[in-house]
Structure 1
């Protein structure tokens, strides 16, 4: 079965399974272990099909071997095949330079890929070793892989000679992206997934190039009609912080075959976390751990959930479980760092986040959380550096944008803070915290920014996650801000304040509401309503009582000057 065959919208289960088996072999042969793992997990999450239940063990092995034979590379000679096998053994033990050297004169696509990929990884390894002092004097965020230019020249020659398969196109896109040409990289990734659709690593790289939902729509038009495209769309929508309704709309387009898929379940948990539905996110992650107790992928996000819920005991258990599974994984170190942060041991937390970054310099969670810790320690310079490094990893990380806003606000650099808060609201338009922070800043920056502050507070009230405290705060501020701009709307919000039952009888908000409504109704000519509010104002002490008394005198005078009309007499 041809893996590049045009796939229908609803392919058969056997078709999907056959191509996933092929993908596991193809990706593993090229050292793309993450893509191979993804394909294997997806394969094993699928239900049993007719061919799986009706064939014997020997028949099943025959089917597997046939698939393997169909996808085995036709090397130019047995000598080249032997060199490939030697290079692959070096590659597997991370001797990348040796692997690349062995394949220097090989010409088959698989050998070419492994040779160039090994050279790339050798350069990455040297780059990490040269700047492994995280946020220290030897940490160079602009360090580059010195092999990139040589690799690009070699790939460009192959591209011009039209000798590239889907995997080499993926590698060309990866190199081009690292050299800073994002648009060209997108072109190569699109060509790669169209040529071979089962390399999940290519889809992930393409996803990281997507800046917003409009760009995603454009890219979707150039992708194949394939179930992998649906996975890409779902994953990218979560990365872009699309709303929950959009996520479940995309999810409804999946075949029932994928209902047990772990990637989808993880994305559901992340969507709940992004929407601050922490109990639901906790439940989804608990189910993932029950089904796969040694899983560490994305468990750092689960630790964020437990941190926000203040579940110290459960976070401690997760930290011990992760350390017993693999203490040197970046996810494990982020989990332990979160645990120490919850105990307010800031320095220990930072040390673990730095260890996570020594393992994986592109660990977004570690950069962002380290920024939070530096904010708590009032080390604003280090916080800014950490947040900006997080944005280099993922420009769509709203937490880093928001953190930068808070940091610059603390530094009294309000216009910088406004810029970063605005970027956060673009990424999270339904997050009340973003709008509330931006509104408060507009109020303090300039009197002329009142209208912008009003719009932000109104956005706060429209957010689905706006809790009681945010609602009460926004209503109170809107009532005050509208007083000089739109008295009708100010009266509306002051009336909402009077309907609250959580305020003390002598609360300043209640006094202000009665004061404004007394004057507002007097100006409207509604003497009765104005008198009611003036009398309520007299129940307070100090200047409020005096103001209420003056209002009552004024209202009494108005009532004498403008007596109510006599009641109409009934006709006999």
Structure 2
């Protein structure tokens, strides 16, 4: 993707316009996003100021008045009151801000208290006729004001309700913290907006003169009321009118739970660069990764090379692909470019925690504390540091602090659940994970955590349900399918467990191949094309053994042992049909002559407990089958592994004794 000078100029003007308009409506996060993106566009020779240019001191075009003459006239008349209202909003006096344009006396008439539902269902109790206003009541018509002033007043009312909701909520994870407190201002804001749209909607469904901001606010209210389908409709309307409001795109992302939903909605969106960024961002939120997404990010970074937002997306792409080394390097570079930026550093701290980079995590915690210790991201980073030190009570304290600052902080809920698991407080862990799922149903870590916690409680039916939810969100993650398979095995459902564990082997191949994997049977006509988890192979072999299918059990036991050196089992040998993990190449392709493949197949896991147990099983199987030479060889190898040495020595003596009896060895 490349833009010429004219396209870059238009993009720069659109982002400038977005910064100004979002700031005017107190949408500060959207304004910050647009300003950062604007600053990331490289300057050209045409952008350099000319000292002799007589127009150099002119006001930029973004400060021009509203192109709609009626709206421009209303904004000019309300300018003094608008400045007063905005100053109140900036000081977080939300009720005073709303009262500038919508005093309670006017608002009560608009809301029509004789109706008890946002949809306008009349209340027929009493002598008052349905849908009418009692005598002496204030007028129910909307006051004449500009859309900008109406948005600011209603948004202030919405924020007032959110602030009061946080104040009325109990202490995080306290005895009365049920997460059931709601925003009491949703009802009046919803009714005012509903009335506004009713008055301006034509028979064709178009809203006359709309600027897109009120659609965005109405969509937020509907989303809070769990009317997600209608909310998505209003968000789509909003981005068609004003596509540079990034907050609206983020609200749409929060309503999308599957990649199929994203592809369906994308057909109804405007085709512009912000829509392109939205698609990339939402794909990452859905934990997607692949060459197509990486290519899209590279194209966007070609236009905005220093964008902190896109660099974060690039680091998260590596994180989702389990390339922790690359993700850590990308976050480290991002931190060096933007050392005072705290956004998404909680993800960076998760990476450092998993990699056990304690000095770097300590430095990051100190840096965040120095910049702003009362940001949720800072509290999460410090909590991760204490967790790495196994100081789990202190970690919980900082995750609670993050949630006190922002109750919708997903990472804090999930990580606090992990800490409660470490503290053996299963009840609190389950509640933390449930609250994480309430915030974001796409969080596979919370679903997986619920499965783990119920597994500790030996409630396998519940555990299986939650594991399946996690696997549905991360179908290419082997860890999810191993959990499903192990749970099914404990429930005695071995056939289903085998299918799940084979899916885990396929998922490992997905990450090794960097592309989608075949969903067919794992038994194919080729040898194994790379490393597989010996523990999973041993589990599959054990279940085949329990089912009485000794041929399949032997095949998987041999493959488990083969993982030690990365050696291939001869496809014409004892496997019968050797295990093949389907990768990028089709089943019949000849991919056996590449250096990369040879290098991969020479890699091994070394001796593990699983491979030793598999070798012991094979040795006993050989004894039962009368193949005493093989049993002797395998048992002799076991005496050198350090696992079950005494049992292996006994097996060697028994095998040699049988070989002496049959004359395969000379008598001592």
TM-score, structure 1 normalization: 0.88
Asked if the contact 2:541/2:553 (under 8 Å) is kept, the reply is: yes
Of 298-307 and 481-490, the range deviating more from structure 2: 481-490
1:118 aligns with 2:161: no
Asked if the contact 1:194/1:224 (under 8 Å) is kept, the reply is: yes
Q: Structure 1: any 5+ residue segments left out of the alignment?
A: 1-7, 558-572
Of 505-514 and 206-215, the range deviating more from structure 2: 505-514
What is the CA deviation profile of residues 376-432 of structure 1, one whole-angstrom value per residue up to 9, with x for unaligned ones?
Answer: 001111101100111111111111011001000001100110111111111112222
Instruction: State the alpha-carbon separation in 2 of the partners of residues 376 and 203 from structure 1.
Output: 37
Q: 1:478 to 1:9 in 2, by over 3 A?
A: farther
- Tell me the equivalent position of 1:185: 231
- Tell me the equivalent position of 1:76: 74
Instruction: State the alpha-carbon separation in 2 of the partners of residues 243 and 555 from structure 1.
Output: 59
What is the CA deviation profile of residues 315-368 of structure 1, one whole-angstrom value per residue up to 9, with x for unaligned ones?
Answer: 111111111111111111111111111111111111111111111111011101
Instruction: State the alpha-carbon separation in 1 of the partners of residues 446 and 532 from structure 2.
Output: 22
- Tell me the equivalent position of 2:167: 129
1:31 aligns with 2:26: yes
- Tell me the equivalent position of 2:538: 476
Instruction: Please state how far the C-alpha of 1:516 moved relative to its aligned partner.
Output: 2.6
Q: 1:197 to 1:438 in 2, by over 3 A?
A: same
Match for residue 356 of structure 2 among 310, 324, 336: 310
1:151 aligns with 2:189: yes
Asked if the contact 1:479/1:490 (under 8 Å) is kept, the reply is: yes
Matches for 1:104-503 after TM superposition, within 5 Å: 104=102, 105=143, 107-162=145-200, 164-252=210-298, 254=300, 256-446=302-492, 449-462=493-506, 463=508, 464=510, 471-483=533-545, 484=547, 486-499=549-562, 500=564, 502-503=606-607
Asked if the contact 2:97/2:153 (under 8 Å) is kept, the reply is: yes
Asked if the contact 1:26/1:71 (under 8 Å) is kept, the reply is: no
Instruction: State the alpha-carbon separation in 2 of the partners of residues 12 and 255 from structure 1.
Output: 16
Q: 1:413 to 1:180 in 2, by over 3 A?
A: same
Asked if the contact 1:240/1:396 (under 8 Å) is kept, the reply is: yes
Asked if the contact 1:538/1:547 (under 8 Å) is kept, the reply is: no
Instruction: State the alpha-carbon separation in 2 of the partners of residues 195 and 538 from structure 1.
Output: 75
Equivalent residue pairs, number: 539
Instruction: Please state how far the C-alpha of 1:460 moved relative to its aligned partner.
Output: 2.1
What is the CA deviation profile of residues 288-335 of structure 1, one whole-angstrom value per residue up to 9, with x for unaligned ones?
Answer: 111111000011111111111112221111111111111111111111
Of 127-136 and 8-17, the range deviating more from structure 2: 8-17
Instruction: State the alpha-carbon separation in 2 of the partners of residues 428 and 307 from structure 1.
Output: 21
Instruction: State the alpha-carbon separation in 1 of the partners of residues 214 and 552 from structure 2.
Output: 62
Instruction: Please state how far the C-alpha of 1:485 moved relative to its aligned partner.
Output: 5.5
Q: 1:487 to 1:18 in 2, by over 3 A?
A: same
1:509 aligns with 2:631: no
Q: 1:444 to 1:89 in 2, by over 3 A?
A: same
Of 214-223 and 98-107, the range deviating more from structure 2: 98-107
1:102 aligns with 2:97: no
- Tell me the equivalent position of 2:633: 536
Instruction: State the alpha-carbon separation in 1 of the partners of residues 441 and 336 from structure 2.
Output: 33
What is the CA deviation profile of residues 476-521 of structure 1, one whole-angstrom value per residue up to 9, with x for unaligned ones?
Answer: 12222223454443332222234335338994331201223555xx
Asked if the contact 2:65/2:72 (under 8 Å) is kept, the reply is: no
Of 285-294 and 53-62, the range deviating more from structure 2: 53-62
Matches for 1:15-54 after TM superposition, within 5 Å: 15-53=10-48
| Secondary structure of residue in 2 paired with 1:12 | helix
Instruction: State the alpha-carbon separation in 2 of the partners of residues 300 and 485 from structure 1.
Output: 49
What is the CA deviation profile of residues 196-223 of structure 1, one whole-angstrom value per residue up to 9, with x for unaligned ones?
Answer: 1000000000011112011111100000
Instruction: Please state how far the C-alpha of 1:132 moved relative to its aligned partner.
Output: 4.3
Q: 1:514 to 1:48 in 2, by over 3 A?
A: same
Q: 1:75 to 1:119 in 2, by over 3 A?
A: farther
Q: Indicate the structure with greater helix content.
A: 1
Instruction: Please state how far the C-alpha of 1:226 moved relative to its aligned partner.
Output: 0.4
Asked if the contact 1:535/1:552 (under 8 Å) is kept, the reply is: no
| Secondary structure of residue in 1 paired with 2:78 | helix
Asked if the contact 2:288/2:320 (under 8 Å) is kept, the reply is: no
Instruction: State the alpha-carbon separation in 1 of the partners of residues 298 and 363 from structure 2.
Output: 35
| Secondary structure of residue in 2 paired with 1:356 | helix
Instruction: State the alpha-carbon separation in 2 of the partners of residues 160 and 435 from structure 1.
Output: 50
Instruction: State the alpha-carbon separation in 2 of the partners of residues 207 and 58 from structure 1.
Output: 46
Instruction: Please state how far the C-alpha of 1:532 moved relative to its aligned partner.
Output: 3.0
Instruction: State the alpha-carbon separation in 1 of the partners of residues 54 and 366 from structure 2.
Output: 42
Q: 1:60 to 1:16 in 2, by over 3 A?
A: farther
